[in-house]
A and B are shown apart, each in its own frame.
Chain A
């Protein structure tokens, strides 16, 4: 009797499996729907139905996702997929581009960052940005880091400013390399050092969120490793969103990964999941280097 039950179950199960879509294929996803887990509990930043236009051309379509406190979120996707555009929308960097328009809801701890009454200067202190090419000011190393705290009026006394500069350079892992030449120009540093200087400059104003737009693409592997190490350390105190072309980098540094494709957010999942068993076939095709 037992045998009969087992046999019939096997047949049924085999049938039901055969009738399912062929293995490896995934059920089609409704238009515009992001698979995975784009939302988190008590997010640092919450974006809902975000569209970004450059004049008539729409670059981002109905993107909704959260960035959680103290997490590292990486944004990946082919060139022109909109990941940098989306990142730049997060601290209104797109405002500087003629014809750029952002619609939808983007909130930093519940506050609408596109509120017309909101001053973007303090916003960009709260949500700092590190760019692809290291762009130190043509000033001394010290002044590069001190620039932000000075213009935002964060410190009154020279001694306090010294502390902020040292602390920021320490946190950026650059202090030991530059402490004896703080008055020399920042542009005289190596590429990797310049990028860490830019990170020190960003964290000197104690931001809550740091946006990084391909921060390592101009650096060699050793400088890259140092930045990646730094990202891990910084994530203890800051929330980080990083756009990267290097999938290995996304896999190494982030806890969640978002995959963009043609301006749409296709999938957001735990990084481990994305790189071992992504939910969406477009994600799979991109990270395995197949024809998209």
Chain B
């Protein structure tokens, strides 16, 4: 379903250029999504080689970011897009940036996995990690889905989910801090888990950013720095 009618330009080449942007972006999203899944798995299973794989993938993500930026620049220079086409190109460059940063966070999680592999497992925090990891992975998946279908309802759902992720993250932090106070010897290992949780929470924030870019792309509304309720009101008012 393409409700932006990207394929209806008089210029077939323009159709192809925009379609190519979208495809490339979704491919990059797929790579980053796998990075996140693997990074969380690497911590859970203390799998050092899987963590190494996440680190290596980062190169590919960086390359894709540059490639997408070049493609977007080319479309701007050659087509001078307007209206939904312009929003599409702008949204792609912004989403690319957020995806790249998600990749960076996945890399941080992978580094924590390697550290935990070397220092030994943390005594606590895996349950929280699994929970948050699942929530965030769902968000990332929904975000890419929303982009693929230019689907505002799903994007709004992601913004709501981010609130829950933030709440889960805060609860987990409180619990882990309490645990460290009781057992100071575990601090360095529990800290590794906390950093990983922090990265997951950040990935959730980037997913929310992408959701906002999608709302901009489809509705032409700039909903950054608004509460979810405000975003919802704006969408319904548009």
Chain A residues with CB under 8 Å of chain B are: 6, 9-10, 13-14, 16-18, 22-25, 247-248, 251, 274-278, 283-285, 287-291
Contacts and interface: CB of A to CB of B under 8 A. Distances in A.
A148 B232 CA distance: 59
B84 interface: yes
Nearest to B229: A9
A288 B84 contact: yes
A276 B87 contact: yes
Contacts of B220: 276-277
Given A17-B152, A275-B86, A276-B220, 6 more contacts: A6-B163, A6-B164, A18-B153, A24-B4, A275-B83, A291-B8
18 contacts: A10-B157, A17-B156, A23-B150, A24-B5, A24-B84, A24-B218, A25-B3, A276-B86, A277-B83, A277-B219, A284-B84, A285-B8, A287-B83, A288-B81, A288-B83, A289-B14, A290-B5, A291-B8
A13 B156 contact: yes
A12 to B, nearest CB: 10
B82 interface: yes
B9 interface: yes
A18 B153 CA distance: 7
B213 to A, nearest CB: 14
B201 interface: no
B85 interface: yes
B236 interface: yes
Nearest to A283: B83
A18 B236 CA distance: 11
A16 B82 CA distance: 29
Contacts of A291: 8, 10
Contacts of B87: 276-277
A20 B219 CA distance: 13
A28 to B, nearest CB: 16
Interface in B87-109: 87
Contacts of B14: 289
Nearest to B1: A22
B141 to A, nearest CB: 16
A226 to B, nearest CB: 20
B232 A287 contact: no
Contacts of A284: 83-84
A275 B82 contact: yes
Nearest to B231: A13
Nearest to B152: A23
A25 B9 CA distance: 16
B8 to A, nearest CB: 4
